[in-house]
Every structure is written in structure tokens, then in C-alpha cells.
């Protein structure tokens, strides 16, 4: 198989694998209770054939009735769930519905790809989160906001593109359990506003049908001011009868024209986007108006909570951007329609390498919630620097909010376990583009894969996910598996070490967000400050400062409020701390800054060296791609190390205890 074709399919490349006694199970396949003509069943059968032929050299014969070696059977169970069992040489895959069948099929193929024996197999699974979504920030001119792997494969020249990649994409998504996709940027402007009109309905419908084949609901981001821009109305006031009527008619049209439409994602009153605040209305007023319009069709409105003042005065120490999400939404807890879900970023700021968990998650007790994370590496290395994000996502999911005894983790809240609700789940800003390898750095596909797997089965560890992804995507050679794990597992902490310290965030090149600029945002309007002076650094968010720490339930609130009990990795997020402050390690804060920056660079160098050792063991193109990225990462890490260290050395006048070169 030629290299290029191979890497285009990412973890579904289905190259020949050791049989491990598995081939025989794929010889005779029978369906029971499933309709072979159903579109999702067809996809499952197609995938089964493709996988078995590619990996095992077996072409399954789909036949009626038993005896068979693989029985695909409809059974009762939770939606999207499945069970797999091997007994006496026969595997039974029970799906609770067509999607369950599809996910079970991918499970089976995954094991084959990992060269695991299917003998004695016994699993029963259902997804942990009802909604498992990827959000694209793709613009209709083909650009991608915060995209680091080429241009959009959905749009170009203000039009929709449908090609081979569309289907490959849907397969990849289904294989990791994604069941909803938003194809366009939340900043809906120009042509994208027209996606809900006749100009695009035909192509939008075709696109959505491709997703339907793989059990994926189709979503669009909406322009809140469409009544003005498309409807020619003078207003977007959610209480205006004309506005309400326009949306009702528009939604009727949308759901009639786009058969697989799940609903809409809305960014309102945020970073210059229009919203209900303009009319003196609340976020709930805006969301509910749209929710009522989509309710007759079973649609949902996913409303983002990224609402803050982006015109702040840096001189102002009282206004705190971290507070904004909570302050803007907590007062309306319980006021949202049942088909509204609030989508909340994992942290209160914006996808930094380290942030506390947003206090809105679980802070809201009567409102549907969805977690938003960013797989696109906006602040975490632009898919140049390697940064495996699954450990960070797991930290967020495992966080105890203390909202309800026994069901208080973020995972509980967003799975619906805390409130017993079904409109809940998890979404990620995706890291794909039209680069041949989808994600720029081939290793960034571990994040693409891992997010889906984690959304489906939250208990999977960051390492277990790599134990799947590496053999499926690179090689099952133990040296490759161990080396790549050795690079990816610590990579988030490495990135953190050479960039901004202890939760302070930012210090990035403004707008672009790659590379170091310690004061880049310090005197700007975005509310993102480090407040360093010659004595110390950090933002006082305790009750003596902005009071942000008080937005948490106890005991989190007190823990964060007090410099002694604040988790050290978040120390500078919550407190302004002198450089001579002694950390638990016995080091001063300034020494920690120096040490971690030297360490971070050295670790990145170690990763690059380890990768060199895989030459000839992985596909040549993949090897070269990652090697090239490591070259760029080392340049970046060195700049970060030396700029941060020099900055604090010059400010504090405190020398490095170990006398290393600081500029
Ligand atoms: O992370 C920031 C980005 C913006 C983005 C915004 C958001 C889509 O810098 O590019 O806009 O967040 O999440 O809405």
C-alpha cells in the first residue's frame, strides 16, 4: 500500500495484521432483527468487509440465518449500546439499535487492528455521554479559525465541498463514537449566515445525509442576528413578535430541508457577536426563543457561555474575566427550556495549558450542561509542538465540583447522572483540516482519536487510549508503542513547563497565540494579565482580590482562596505571590520558574531524540512529518525558555541558584 493512501485513513488504515486466530470469525456473517437495507446497518456491514479484507484478508459472506461465525443481532438495551461475546467459535454482536451495531462493529475492528485475540471476548458498553460532538470552526471561504492543518474540507470560495474526504471523515468520527458535528465556525458571518437559506439547502442536505449514514446528527452554528441580516427585520429582540415569527418559519424550513438536522450552536454576546444583551434581554431569553422555534422538530439549541467583556481596561484590577461566565449565567439557572444546553468551556478563561475547572460546571444545578474542550491546539502548540491533551481532559472530567453528594464530578454533570437529564454531553473544537494527514502533526491525531473515545467511555485512561491509537495508527511494534507513549503521555506537562508557569496562562504572541510574548497581552483589552512586578507575579482572585475563588462550592472555594491550600499548579491563577515564596518542593517561586523552563526544553529535546530512534520503524512520510515538527518545537521551546527566564530574572534581579545562562 502506498504511504500516502495509508496515512489518509488515520487509525482506519486497515493494513494487514497478524491473524491472532481472528480471521475465522469474519467468514460468515448473519443479521438478526436488523434491516440490511438500513443506512447505518449498511455502513456497519461495509466497514466490516473493508476491515476484515484489509486486516485479515477475509471477505465476509453475509448470509441469512445460522450457522454463522459472526451474528449481528438486535437486542434490547440502552440507546447506542452494544454487547460482544465469543462462544464456541461464534461472536455475537448485539446492538440496542443501529448505532449500537455500528459502534460494536468498530469495537471489533479495533481489537483486530490491535492484534488482540477475539477468543473469549465479552464486553457490554453504552456511551457515557448522550451527546458527543465535534465543533468545526471552519469558515466558508475555506479558512479555519484556529486551524493548524490546512484549510477546511467542508467549504471553499463561499461554497460547500462534498468529496471523498467527507465520507472518510464521517467514518473516522463514527469509529470513535462521535454522534454530532457542527460544521461551521461559531463566529457566523457573511456567507455562513446564509447556510440556513435556499442558497445552500441542497448541498447542506447532501452533506447531512452522509453523516446520517454513520449515525451522526448534523448541526450548524447560527448567526443570532439573522433576522436582521437575512430577514430584513429591524431587530433581533427575542421578545419581538416579528422576530419570533421569523425564527418559527425559518426553523420549519430548515428542518424540512435538512432531514438529519439536530439543531444549532449559538455564540451570542461574545467577542463582538450579536446577542440578546443588545435588547436588554438575558441569555436565557435569547436561547429560549430559539429553543421554542426548534422544539416542534425535536431540535436542540446549544448555547455557549463564553460571554465576557473583551473591552477591558488593563488598569482595572476589579473586573475579572475569569468571573464572567458564572456571573452572566448562574442567575438564570433553571430558566432554560428543556431543549437548551449550555456549552461551557473547561476553564473560566480560554483553553490555556492549565486552568481551574469552570465554576459554572456543576455550579448550575437545574440547567442542561455540556463541556467544551479544545482539541485544536490554539494555546497548546498549534499542532507543531506535541501536546497530548487527554490527561488534561481527564483532570477536568474527574474534578469534584461538590454540587451533589455522590454525583458531583464534571463527568457526572455532563453525562446527565447528576440531574438525570438526557440533553447533556461533551464537545470539542476539532483539529482537522485538508492536510493529507488531517491534523498537521501526525501525532496530533492522538487527540482527535482520544477525545471521541473518552467521550464514549470516560473511564478509559490516557494510556489505554494510546494503547489503541498507536497500533492502529503507527505500528504494534513494542518499541514504537513504548516510545510514542513515552513522548505523548508527559507532553502536556512538558509544554506547560516551558511556557507560562503555575496557571497564569497567556504570555503568548497576541492574536496568533503561538510563541512567547510575556507582555503581549499585558496592556491589552482582553482581560488576560499576569500582573508581574519586581516583587512577584499572579492575579489575586481570592476574597481580597476579585473574589473569583468564591464562585466554587466548598471546600473548593476555601482551598483556592488560601495561598497555603491552593493547588500549586494553579497558584498564580489565584494569587499574587512573591518570587521568594517557598513552594512545597522547598524551591522558591522564581527558582521553580527557572528550573521548569530548563527542564521543559530538555524534555522536548528528549522527545525529539526518541522519535529519531523510530526511523525505519514507522511509515517514512509520518516519520518525516513528525521529525520536522520536532525541529520547530525545539525552536519554540528554546524561545519560551529564554524569554520567560530572562524576563523574570531582569524584573526580580534574583539569580538562578544553579548559575545557568539567562539572558
Ligand atoms: O479561543 C478563543 C479564540 C477565538 C474563538 C473564541 C471562541 C471562535 O481565540 O478565535 O472564536 O475563543 O471560543 O468563541
Closest CA to ligand 1's atom 1: 350
> Is residue 489 domain-resident?
no
Ligand 1 pocket mutation, candidates 182, 223, 271, 374, criterion most atoms within 8 A of CB: 271
Query: Given 125, 146, 164, which residue is the final one in a domain?
Result: 125
CA of 36 to the centre of ligand 1 (A): 43
User: Is residue 331 domain-shared with residue 429, that is, in the same domain?
Assistant: yes
Please, which residues have CB within 8 angstroms of residue 499's CB and are 6 or more apart in sequence? Answer: 353, 507, 508, 516, 600, 640, 644
**Side-chain half-sphere exposure of 109, counting CA atoms within 13 A:** 31
CA of 575 to the centre of ligand 1 (A): 26
E strands along 413-471, which residues? Answer: 425-429
User: Is residue 331 domain-shared with residue 293, that is, in the same domain?
Assistant: yes
Q: Of ligand 1's atoms, which has the minimum distance to the CA of residue 185?
A: 8
CA of 223 to the centre of ligand 1 (A): 15
Ligand 1 pocket mutation, candidates 143, 275, 302, 306, criterion most atoms within 8 A of CB: 306
Q: Of ligand 1's atoms, which has the minimum distance to the CA of residue 350?
A: 1
CATH number for the domain harbouring residue 82: 3.30.379.10
Taking a C-beta distance cutoff of 8 angstroms, is the pair 151, 434 a contact?
yes
**Side-chain half-sphere exposure of 448, counting CA atoms within 13 A:** 27
> Is residue 480 domain-resident?
no
User: Is residue 107 domain-shared with residue 157, that is, in the same domain?
Assistant: no
Which helix or strand (DSSP H or E) is residue 605 part of?
Answer: helix 589-612
Helix 201-212, helix 241-257: angle, nearest 10: 60
Closest CA to ligand 1's atom 3: 146
User: Is residue 149 domain-shared with residue 234, that is, in the same domain?
Assistant: yes
> Is residue 186 domain-resident?
yes
Domain count of the fold of the chain: 3
CA gap 309, 5 in Å, rounded: 47
Supply the pLDDT for residue 4.
Answer: 47
Q: Of ligand 1's atoms, which has the minimum distance to the CA of residue 378?
A: 1
Ligand 1 pocket mutation, candidates 350, 358, 526, criterion most atoms within 8 A of CB: 350
Which residues' Cβ are closer than 6 Å to ligand 1?
137, 145-146, 186-187, 267, 271, 306, 350-351, 378
Supply the pLDDT for residue 2.
Answer: 41
Closest CA to ligand 1's atom 7: 306
**Side-chain half-sphere exposure of 55, counting CA atoms within 13 A:** 33
What residues are labeled active site?
271, 350, 378
Taking a C-beta distance cutoff of 8 angstroms, is the pair 584, 565 a contact?
no
The CA-to-CA distance between both ends of the chain, in Å, stands at 51
Closest CA to ligand 1's atom 11: 187
> For each successive 10 residues of the chain (663 residues), what is the average pLDDT?
64 95 97 97 98 98 89 97 97 98 98 97 98 98 98 98 96 98 98 98 98 98 98 97 98 97 98 96 98 98 97 97 98 98 98 98 98 98 98 98 98 98 98 97 98 98 98 97 98 98 98 98 98 98 98 98 98 98 98 98 98 97 97 98 98 98 97
Distance of CA 206 to the CA centre of its chain: 26
Distances (CA, A) of 327 to 86, 307, 323, 333, 622: 53, 9, 6, 11, 46
Distance of CA 62 to the CA centre of its chain: 37
E strands along 78-158, which residues? Answer: 82-87, 90-95, 122-125, 131-135, 155-156
CA of 185 to the centre of ligand 1 (A): 9
User: Is residue 93 domain-shared with residue 25, that is, in the same domain?
Assistant: yes
Q: What share of the chain is helix, strand, coil (3-state, %, to 5)?
A: 40, 15, 45
What counts of helices (H) and strands (E) characterise the chain? 19, 18
Rg (CA), the chain: 25
CA gap 460, 642 in Å, rounded: 37
CA of 351 to the centre of ligand 1 (A): 9
User: Is residue 138 domain-shared with residue 179, that is, in the same domain?
Assistant: yes
- For the chain, what's the residue count? 663
Query: Given 464, 485, 511, which residue is the final one in a domain?
Result: 464
Q: Of ligand 1's atoms, which has the minimum distance to the CA of residue 145?
A: 10
CA of 270 to the centre of ligand 1 (A): 9
- Find residue 266's DSSP bridge partners: 222, 303
CATH number for the domain harbouring residue 407: 3.20.20.80
Q: Of ligand 1's atoms, which has the minimum distance to the CA of residue 379?
A: 1
CATH number for the domain harbouring residue 507: 3.90.1330.10
User: Is residue 499 domain-shared with residue 389, that is, in the same domain?
Assistant: no
CA of 528 to the centre of ligand 1 (A): 14
Ligand 1 pocket mutation, candidates 147, 274, 378, criterion most atoms within 8 A of CB: 378
Ligand 1 pocket mutation, candidates 145, 305, 520, criterion most atoms within 8 A of CB: 145
Pairing of strands 155-156, 159-160: antiparallel
> Is residue 285 domain-resident?
yes
Cβ atoms within 10 A of the Cβ of 232, count? 8
User: Is residue 37 domain-shared with residue 151, that is, in the same domain?
Assistant: no
Q: Of ligand 1's atoms, which has the minimum distance to the CA of residue 429?
A: 13
Query: Given 91, 125, 159, which residue is the final one in a domain?
Result: 125
Supply the pLDDT for residue 5.
Answer: 56
> Is residue 375 domain-resident?
yes
Q: Of ligand 1's atoms, which has the minimum distance to the CA of residue 372?
A: 13
Closest CA to ligand 1's atom 2: 350
> Is residue 552 domain-resident?
no
User: Is residue 82 domain-shared with residue 186, that is, in the same domain?
Assistant: no
CA of 556 to the centre of ligand 1 (A): 28
Q: Of 247, 229, 330, which is closest to residue 288 (Cα–Cα)?
A: 247
Q: Of 382, 366, 326, 331, which is closest to residue 349 (Cα–Cα)?
A: 326
Q: Of ligand 1's atoms, which has the minimum distance to the CA of residue 146?
A: 10
CA of 148 to the centre of ligand 1 (A): 14
User: Is residue 119 domain-shared with residue 154, that is, in the same domain?
Assistant: no
Considering all CA atoms of the chain, what is the largest pairwise distance in Å, rounded to the nearest integer? 81
CA of 507 to the centre of ligand 1 (A): 17
User: Is residue 383 domain-shared with residue 316, that is, in the same domain?
Assistant: yes
Closest CA to ligand 1's atom 13: 306
CA gap 491, 345 in Å, rounded: 22
Taking a C-beta distance cutoff of 8 angstroms, is the pair 282, 332 a contact?
yes
User: Is residue 135 domain-shared with residue 121, that is, in the same domain?
Assistant: no
pTM confidence score: 0.98
Domain that holds residue 333: 131-464
DSSP code per residue over 223-256: -TTHHHHTT--S---TT-HHHHHHHHHHHHHHHH
Amino acid at each position: 500500500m502506498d504511504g500516502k493512501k495509508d496515512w489518509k485513513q488515520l487509525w482506519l488504515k486497515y493494513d494487514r495484521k497478524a491473524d491472532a486466530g481472528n480471521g475465522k470469525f469474519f467468514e460468515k456473517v448473519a443479521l438478526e432483527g436488523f434491516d440490511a437495507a438500513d443506512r447505518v446497518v449498511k455502513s456497519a456491514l461495509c466497514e466490516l468487509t473493508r476491515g476484515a479484507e484489509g486486516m485479515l484478508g477475509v471477505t465476509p459472506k453475509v448470509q441469512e440465518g445460522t450457522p454463522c461465525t459472526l451474528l449481528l443481532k438486535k437486542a434490547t438495551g440502552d440507546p447506542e449500546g452494544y454487547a460482544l461475546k465469543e462462544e464456541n467459535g461464534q461472536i455475537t454482536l448485539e446492538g440496542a439499535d443501529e448505532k449500537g451495531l455500528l459502534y460494536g462493529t468498530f469495537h471489533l475492528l479495533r481489537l483486530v487492528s490491535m492484534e488482540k485475540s477475539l477468543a473469549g471476548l465479552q464486553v457490554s458498553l453504552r456511551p457515557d455521554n448522550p451527546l458527543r460532538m465535534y465543533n468545526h470552526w471552519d469558515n466558508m471561504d475555506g479558512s479555519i479559525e484556529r486551524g493548524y492543518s490546512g484549510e477546511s474540507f467542508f467549504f471553499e470560495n463561499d461554497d460547500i465541498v462534498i468529496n471523498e474526504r467527507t465520507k472518510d471523515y464521517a467514518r473516522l468520527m463514527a469509529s470513535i463514537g462521535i454522534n454530532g458535528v457542527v460544521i461551521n465556525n461559531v463566529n457566523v458571518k457573511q456567507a455562513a449566515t446564509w447556510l440556513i437559506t435556499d442558497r445552500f439547502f441542497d448541498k447542506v442536505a447532501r452533506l447531512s445525509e452522509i453523516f446520517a449514514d454513520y449515525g451522526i446528527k448534523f448541526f450548524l452554528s447560527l448567526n443570532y442576528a439573522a433576522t436582521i441580516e437575512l430577514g430584513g427585520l429591524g431587530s433581533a429582540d427575542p421578545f419581538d413578535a416579528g422576530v419570533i415569527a421569523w425564527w418559527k418559519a425559518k426553523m420549519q424550513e430548515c428542518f424540512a430541508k435538512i432531514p438529519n438536522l439536530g439543531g444549532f450552536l449559538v455564540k451570542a454576546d461574545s467577542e463582538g457577536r450579536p446577542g440578546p444583551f443588545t435588547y436588554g434581554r438575558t441569555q436565557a431569553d435569547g436561547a429560549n426563543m430559539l429553543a421554542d422555534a426548534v422544539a416542534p422538530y425535536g431540535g436542540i439549541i446549544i448555547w455557549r457561555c463564553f460571554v465576557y467583556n473583551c473591552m477591558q481596561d488593563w488598569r482595572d484590577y476589579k473586573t475579572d474575566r475569569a468571573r464572567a461566565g458564572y456571573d452572566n449565567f448562574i442567575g438564570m439557572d433553571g430558566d432554560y427550556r428543556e431543549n437548551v444546553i449550555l456549552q461551557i468551556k473547561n476553564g473560566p478563561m480560554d483553553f490555556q495549558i492549565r486552568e481551574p475547572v469552570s465554576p459554572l460546571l456543576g455550579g448550575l444545578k437545574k440547567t442542561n450542561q455540556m463541556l467544551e474542550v479544545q482539541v485544536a491546539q490554539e494555546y497548546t502548540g498549534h499542532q507543531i509542538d506535541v501536546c497530548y491533551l487527554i490527561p488534561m481532559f481527564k483532570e477536568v472530567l474527574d474534578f469534584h465540583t461538590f454540587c451533589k453528594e455522590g454525583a458531583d464530578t464534571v463527568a457526572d454533570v455532563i453525562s446527565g447522572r447528576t440531574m438525570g437529564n438526557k440533553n447533556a454531553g461533551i464537545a470539542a473544537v476539532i483539529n482537522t483540516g485538508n492536510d493529507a494527514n488531517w491534523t498537521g502533526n501526525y501525532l496530533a491525531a492522538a487527540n482527535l482519536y482520544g477525545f471521541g473515545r473518552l467521550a464514549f467511555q470516560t473511564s478509559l485512561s490516557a494510556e489505554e487510549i494510546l494503547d489503541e491509537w498507536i497500533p492502529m495508527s503507527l505500528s504494534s511494534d513494542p518499541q514504537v508503542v513504548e516510545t510514542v507513549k513515552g513522548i505523548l503521555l508527559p507532553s502536556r506537562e512538558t509544554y506547560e513547563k516551558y511556557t507560562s508557569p503555575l496557571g497564569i496562562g497567556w504570555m503568548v504572541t497576541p492574536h496568533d497565540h503561538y510563541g512567547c510574548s510575556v507582555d503581549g497581552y499585558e496592556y491589552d483589552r482582553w482581560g488576560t494579565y499576569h500582573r508581574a512586578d519586581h516583587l512577584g507575579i499572579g492575579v489575586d482572585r481570592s476574597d481580597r482580590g476579585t473574589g473569583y475563588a468564591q464562585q466554587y462550592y466548598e471546600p473548593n472555594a476555601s482551598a483556592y482562596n488560601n495561598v497555603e491550600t491552593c493547588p500549586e499548579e494553579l497558584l498564580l491563577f489565584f494569587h499574587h505571590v512573591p518570587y521568594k515564596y517557598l513552594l512545597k518542593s522547598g524551591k522558591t517561586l522564581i527558582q521553580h520558574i527557572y528550573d521548569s523552563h530548563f527542564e521543559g526544553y530538555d524534555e522536548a529535546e528528549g522527545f525529539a531524540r526518541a522519535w529519531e530512534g523510530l526511523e525505519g520503524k514507522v511509515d517514512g512520510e509520518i516519520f518525516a512529518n513528525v521529525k520536522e515538527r520536532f525541529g520547530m518545537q525545539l525552536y519554540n521551546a528554546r524561545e519560551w525558555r529564554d524569554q520567560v527566564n530572562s524576563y523574570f530574572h531582569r524584573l526580580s534581579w534574583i539569580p538562578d541558584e544553579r548559575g545557568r545562562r539567562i539572558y
